[in-house]
Amino acid sequence: MNSVLFSLHLYVRFVGYRIVVDGWIEDGEILPMNTVPVQEAIGMVLCHDMTRIVPGECKGPAFKKGHVVTEEDIPTLLEIGKEHIFVLDMEKGRIHENEAAERIAKAAFGPGITLSDVSEGRVNFEASPGLLDINVEALNRINSIEEVVLATMHSGQQVTEARAVAGTRVVPLVIDEEKIERVEAICAEYPYVVGIRPFIHHKVGVVTTGSEVYHGRIQDKFGPVIREKFAKLGSTVMEQRFSSDDPIMTRDEILDAIAEGAEMVVVTGGMSVDPDDQTPTAIRATGAEVITYGSPTFPGVMFMLAVRDGIPILGLPGCVMYYRASIFDLVVPRLLAGVEVTREDIVAMGHGGFCATCEVCHYPTCPFGK
């Protein structure tokens, strides 16, 4: 199988009765290639996979295309019957795709990111939980360099379990080193290009409003949803307090939660325009600065964000209880990662803030909030 795949990439010509191999074809360019004894191949780049077969045990590549031969590889190559091998004749100032991808990745990665081993010229960026932080300006500058590729997921996306969030490679098998040096110079201008802002554990106070819940006429269903959402983001609900529709009572419950150590307070219920829905009035009565009342997002229009002495107070509309993805998932992860959310940030959510209400929700791998 290797010999068949190999022949597809070789430039060959007939001279009399002989087939002469001139080089490796890459995007129309013939890359010089030599046949050398394995003992002389140290530091050279393999042109194709080298298969190892152990009868009854395994069959697979002992070395992959692009591998740089080391002195330790010589015994293994001889064991699999390779006394002579094809290697690329690398010109000065040109580097192999594997080295190029590794150098780009090492220059671009930031906190919370680990790099995969290079495979077929590609390196992936593996993220730990937190808020994905992409320097889009630097990313665009890098991708403006011809033959260089760095692709990422959307910035601001919550990552709740380890996963790949970006990948890099170059287009040709070998590339001018000068292009990679340009990438490294761009990355050096910024703290990082691809990074994770870790979620900071917060003690969260929950105040649930509504006379129907306060007087026990109906069972509260908001609390369990909020606890689960915050637990997924690494924070803890301290206590759930209940208040009637009286805004003074709700105000006092919010202030009591802060006095007892809450680092964030969410108020559920009472966010619509009905006369009995007084949560926005209660939040304002705490003396907090209102960042926004209303958000250009569906679901999540009746949302309030305010800040009192550095502590966020959120008025959550009822949709947070019913939708897997809502304004909660666009704002709260940012706050837990230590990112300030401004009125301008809320305004910008209008582009991408319309949930398609798919039959099966795939958030965050969907367009909502992006």
The architecture that CATH gives domain 94-197 is Alpha-Beta Complex (3.90)
CATH tag, 203-348: 3.40.980.10
Q: Does position 44 have pLDDT exceeding 80, yes or no? A: no
Residue range 33-59: mean pLDDT, rounded: 75
Q: How far apart are CA 177 and CA 147, in angstroms?
A: 12
Helix axes 177-188, 136-143, angle to 10 degrees: 170
* Residues 6+ positions from 268 with CB-CB distance below 8 Å: 206, 207, 208, 209, 222, 223, 226, 316, 318, 320, 321
Pick the CATH number of 2-88 from 3.90.580.10, 3.90.1310.10, 3.90.105.10, 3.90.1170.50: 3.90.105.10
Q: What dihedral do alpha carbons 82, 84, 86, 88 form, nearest 10°?
A: 120
Helix (H) or strand (E) holding 16: none
Q: Does position 34 have pLDDT exceeding 60, yes or no? A: yes
Please tell me what DSSP assigns to residue 243. E
Are the C-beta atoms of residues 91 and 32 closer than 8 Å to each other?
yes
Q: What is the pLDDT of residue 31?
A: 57
Q: Where are the domains of the chain?
A: 2-88, 94-197, 203-348
Q: What is the pLDDT of residue 11?
A: 44
Mean pLDDT score across all residues of the chain: 87
Half-sphere exposure of 314 (CA within 13 A, CB side): 29
* pLDDT, tens digit (0-9, with 9 covering 90-100), for 329-369: 999 999 999 999 999 999 999 999 999 989 899 888 888 99
Q: How confident is the model at residue 184 (pLDDT cuts 50, 70, 90)?
A: very high
Q: What is the pLDDT of residue 354?
A: 96
Q: How far apart are CA 254 and CA 207, in angstroms?
A: 7
Are the C-beta atoms of residues 44 and 69 closer than 8 Å to each other?
yes
51 three-state secondary structure = strand
- Give the global pTM: 0.79
Q: What is the pLDDT of residue 63?
A: 80
